[in-house]
Amino acid sequence: MTIRELIEALKQFPVDMMVLTNGYESGYEEIRCPKVIEVKHEPEKPYYDGEYQIAEEKDSTSIKAVAIFRNRRTE
């Protein structure tokens, strides 16, 4: 999904509606500010690792993307 697609999708909701993301194991958490990261597409990774991984070495295969992180609470 691109920023443009995300903006279009979000236009259908009230501007004061809370935005959540999935929690660590279950439930939902509030999101933090978006951040630009550089990743590599690695679709061969197991589903629990995610198909995009942080680009340790940045080269022509790395991709800049906006990541939206969840709020991490301590115990």
Q: What confidence tens digit (pLDDT) does each residue in 23-64 have?
A: 888 899 998 888 999 999 999 999 889 999 999 999 999 999
Instruction: Please indicate, yes or no, whether the overall pTM of this predicted structure exceeds 0.85.
Output: no
- How many structural domains compose the chain? 1
**Residues in the chain, total:** 75
Tokens of 32: 């933090």
Q: Coil, strand or helix: which one is 64?
A: strand
The model's confidence at residue 73, banded by pLDDT at 50, 70 and 90, is: confident
Contact (Cβ atoms closer than 8 angstroms) between residue 72 and residue 22: no
Q: Does pLDDT of 67 surpass 90?
A: yes
Domain enclosing residue 14, as ranges: 3-70
Neighbours of 33 (CB within 10 A): 6
Residue 57 lies in a domain: yes
Give the residue carrying structure tokens 């995610």.
50
Is there a domain that residue 75 lies in? no
